[in-house]
Structure formats: structure tokens, C-alpha cells
Chains A and B, each alone.
Chain A
Amino acid sequence: MPTHTFETKHLQAGYDRKIILDDVNVRIPSNKISIIIGANGCGKSTLLKTMARLIKPESGDVLLDGKSIHKMAPKQLAKILGLLPQSPIVPEGITVADLVGRGRFPHQSVMKGWSKKDYEAVAEALEMMNITEFADRAIDELSGGQRQRVWIAMALAQQTDILFLDEPTTYLDITYQVEILDLLTDLNQKYGTTIVMVLHDINLSARYADYLFTVKNGKLIAEGAPKDIVTAALIKETFALDCQVIQDPVSNTPLIVPIGRHHI
């Protein structure tokens, strides 16, 4: 499995001249699952988007194998680095197989049709996400959980070594949240894909991440394996929430139990 170094150097970025990220230096562990957590508006999504070149940094740089991603040809980069946005748009009436096939764009030459490799990649992605039975259906007819699997299949068909996902489980029932995270873990184990995602659920993050990044006010405040860094003090600092940290009886990872003002 191919390994890559992926890091940010003194990254400053934001929207409309408002700086949201301030001097962020991260190094993404290759072939692992990394999860970025933090309170709403802390800049975690901005960090992900800046690393995936959706936002141009004000200063600093994002380096893939030592090269600035902003200096690489877009299609070349898209063969190594993929991103599933939080709310991609479904073209009206498009079938599942055709949508998944759009993930092949960086591998195709402009005027040619689909090659055998394209069909193979799409079929493989559909099978991995368990959506072969929907291949010919219009996306509009699918449920939220099924749709999300279609989008991940599209990102899979892109066959990148690094895959970013912006809150892939938001709006999904707990069943589908676990299912999506399981499928992403399968992907990581089968192909060694480096996965970086933003998640809201701290406990699922602590369970599924090999490596956690916590962000507050546009700064990185902690990073490391969940069992090494998740403490009541860190949660208090990151989310301004009191909690107890116990051991997850299922996965033996840290499990936070929040403490509010009532029911104590």
C-alpha cells in the first residue's frame, strides 16, 4: 500500500479575510484513520477544506509528499487526494452507477468513454458499499443512509490513497452512522487508504479513530491516539463541558459521559 506524507505548515486560512485557522501545523499519519473534533465554529471544517484545497490559505502551505498541493495539476492531485463534501449536489434523475462513475473523472481522458478499468472501479465501489442492487435506480429514490453510501462509493471509485470526509455521518440515524464508520474502516484495512474526517460524535470518534486532532478557536490543541489524549480536562477545554471519562465496554476506548446541571 502506498504511503504519503501529508502536512500543513503554519497554515492560516479563513473566509472573507476573516482568519479562522491560525498557524496550524498538522501531520496526517499515513494509512490510518484520523478524526478531527472540536466545538461548532472552531475551524475543524475549515481545516479539512483547506487541506483538501477547497480554500486557498492566506499564508502557510499544505504539502503532499513535500510538494505544495496548490502547485500540483488539479487532475494529478485528484488521483491521490479525494474529498467527500458535507452536502454534495445530486443532479436530478441521475442513476447510482452514473454518479459513482463521475468519481472516475481524474482517471479519464476528456474525449474517451469509460474504459474497462472505469467499469471495474465502479463495480468494486458499488460492491464495497453494498449498493449493487441500486445501481440502476435514481438517487432521488434512496434513503439518507443509502445516499451517503452512494457518495462514498463515488469517492471510492476515484481510487485515491487519501480520502477526506466532511461530517459523513451528519443527519444519519445511529445505525447508519455506525454502518458508515464500519465501511470506512473496511476501506482503510483493505486498501490502506488514509482517511481524515470531521465528526461530531466524540465517542464514535474515540472508537473509530487511530489518531485524533482536537481544534479550538482555529488552533490545534491536542493530537494523538484517543486512549492517550481523551481526558475530562481535554473535553472541558475543547467543548467547555464537564464529563467523566470511562472505558467503552465494547471497544475499550475512552467513552465520555457528559455532566449537565440536572440528573446528577
Chain B
Amino acid sequence: MINETMNAIIKARKSRQRRYIFVTVLLAVITIALACAMMMLGNTIYPVRDVVRVLFGETVPGASFAINEIRLPRTVAGLFAGFAFGAGGYIFQTMLRNPLANPNVIGITTGSSAAAVFCIIILHTSSTVVSLAAVIGGLVTVAIIYGLSKGSSFSIGRLILIGIGIQAMLNAFISYLMLIGKTSDLPTALRWLSGSLNGAELEMTFPLIVAVIIATPILIYFAKHLEMLELGEQAATSLGVNTNQTRAILMICAVIVIALATATTGPIAFVAFLAGPIAQRLVGVGFSNIVPAGLIGIILVLGGDLIGQFAFETRYPVGVITGIIGAPYLIYLLIRINRKGDI
């Protein structure tokens, strides 16, 4: 009897595991295909052979400049920023058990942008300092939202509403800075307002690459703890999770990668918001979906960028495209929540 039950459980779990692996591999393949498309497509279309030759250091007339200087930085920025937004957003949504609780909606990316724009327009600092300020801005915003929502008892609904309020304040602050700023500073500052892969440079992407490479294994290591946190504070504690420590580690890692991604590409609208729920749909629940969510993030960014570049007569930055996809989903979620009656 017990063996029968055990075999049934093993079978069901193995089949879910197979689905997880299948979906993850499929997403990885799509990611690679999109990255190839990013490298091949442009004003001139170069075949894979030329792209590979350029990447291995050969000089191909015409192709070398376009690929090394424009397409490669664009693709790399898209890959890492997409992963950072997707995985970071998923961490927030899962930890706070609500799809609305993500960096786009509760104003963490706006916190990074505000700090960066302040450094550019008022302090005129170097781009390294701007990136650092973005990270600190993100962390401080989280700390403020978290502190204000703690009150007598912590409530996630309150956290989301406070986050939306803080975001409105930060947006007003950014608008003010843009109004008083010098015209010459505005193009740099504008980068922080809407997500775009235009003008991406490899050196600027470097801090993000390092952060993603360091943070991803940490996030995966804590994936199981994250699953326990989903059951609520009390259940997680009694299962042996140090909830405060786990939450702090996960949140800091997620905020750092998201802030650096924002520093690289600007806040690409709704990627952090959409990636988690899409991954959950495709993979199913019961497994930690950090990697699938990261891959979906990449697909949204690279796919959105390709659509923005080639689908219309005017070229649109990726943030416009993801914004168009994301906004209806946000409205759908709000309607559904309205029906259920809680945030």
C-alpha cells in the first residue's frame, strides 16, 4: 500500500520534473535563437558564418564594426538585463506572494532611476557613481517601503499600496529634476526613464554581468527557502527557515541585479512584472522558477527589441513594446483582485 502511494508520488513528481526541464531547455533554445537574430539582423543582414567569424576576432569588412560596436553590446545588455529583471521580479513576487509586488509596480526601479537622474543632473557624477547610486536608490526605496508597511503587523497589501504611493512621489521628483536640468544633461538622464537597448556599451554592462553571475547561484541556493517562505512567516519558521535573514539576502540580491539592469538599459517596462507569472504558467508550481523566469525576461527584452526595431516604420525602444504588452496584464490582475476583494 505504502509502496503504491510512493510510486504514484514519484511518478507524478518525475513527470512535473520532466516538464520543468523540457520548458527550461525550450526557453533556452528560444533565447539563443533570439540572440542570434539580434546579431544577424540590422540595416544589413549578416549570415551566421560572418557573425561567428567576427566574434572569434576575425575582421570582416563592414560586419566587424556593426557587430562588435552595435549588435554585440545590444545583445549582451539585453541578455543580462532581461535575466536580471525576470529573475529579480520573480523573487519579489514569490517572496511577497503577490504578482503585484514586483519592482516595476512598487517603485524600486523608479527609486533607482530617481537616484541616477539626481546624480546626473544635480551632482554631475561619473557613470560609475551613477550606477552605484542606482543600486543604493533601489535598496533605500525597498527599506522605506518595507519600514512603512511594517506598522503593528506586516501586511503585503499595505506594502503594495505604499509602494505605488512612493513611486508616484519619485516620479514627481524625477519630473522636477528634468525641468530644472541643463539641456545637455537631458539625453543621459532620459535613458533612465524608458528602457532601451540603444547605445548600449559593453563596459557599461560589465557591473551587471558580474552581479548576475554572482547573484544567480545565491538565488538558486536559496530557492528552497523561498518555497518555504511562500507558506507564510509562521510555517516557514517552524520548518527551520531563518525568515528575516533569508528575506534580506534574497531581497538584496534581487534589488542589486535589478538596479544594475536599470543602470544598463533603463527600466524596461513590465519585464519584472510579466516574467514570473508567465514562467509559472509554463512550468507549473511546486518548483522554483528562478531560471525559467530569467529566461522569459530575456525573451521579452530581446523579442521586444526586435519587434521595436523591425516591425514598424518608426523604430521604438524595447520599453515601449513591453509596456504595450504589460499594461493590459496589470489591468487584468487589478480586475481579478477587485473580484476577489483583496490585494
Contacts and interface: CB of A to CB of B under 8 A. Distances in A.
Interface stretch (A74-82, A192-200, A217-225, A232-240): A74-82
A135 B8 contact: yes
Nearest to A166: B234
Given A105-B240, A158-B239, A89 B230 contact: yes
Contacts of A186: none
B202 interface: no
B231 A111 contact: no
Contacts of A114: 13
A249 interface: no
B5 A132 contact: yes
Contacts of A103: 239
A102 B227 contact: yes
A91 B98 CA distance: 10
Nearest to A82: B238
Contacts, number: 113
Contacts of B224: 105, 108, 110
Contacts of B12: 95, 97, 135-136
Contact of A127 (B1, B152, B237): B1
B241 interface: yes
A58 B269 CA distance: 46
B160 interface: no
Contacts of B2: 120, 123-124, 127
26 contacts: A15-B152, A53-B238, A54-B237, A76-B240, A77-B240, A78-B238, A78-B240, A79-B240, A82-B238, A82-B239, A84-B235, A85-B235, A85-B238, A88-B232, A97-B12, A98-B13, A98-B286, A102-B227, A102-B239, A114-B13, A120-B2, A122-B9, A135-B5, A135-B8, A135-B9, A136-B12
A77 B242 CA distance: 12
A52 B233 CA distance: 13
Nearest to A53: B237
Contacts of B231: 88-89, 91, 102
A230 interface: no
Given A74-B241, A88-B234, A105-B228, A110 B221 contact: yes
B229 to A, nearest CB: 10
B285 interface: yes
A85 B232 contact: yes
B285 A83 contact: no
Given A88-B232, A89-B97, A91-B231, A123 B9 contact: yes
B331 interface: no
B180 interface: no
Nearest to A107: B240
B240 A89 contact: no
B248 interface: no
Contacts of A81: 238
A136 B16 CA distance: 11
Which of B228, B235, B284 has the largest count of A CB atoms less than 10 A from its CB? B235
Interface string A50-68: 0011100000000000000
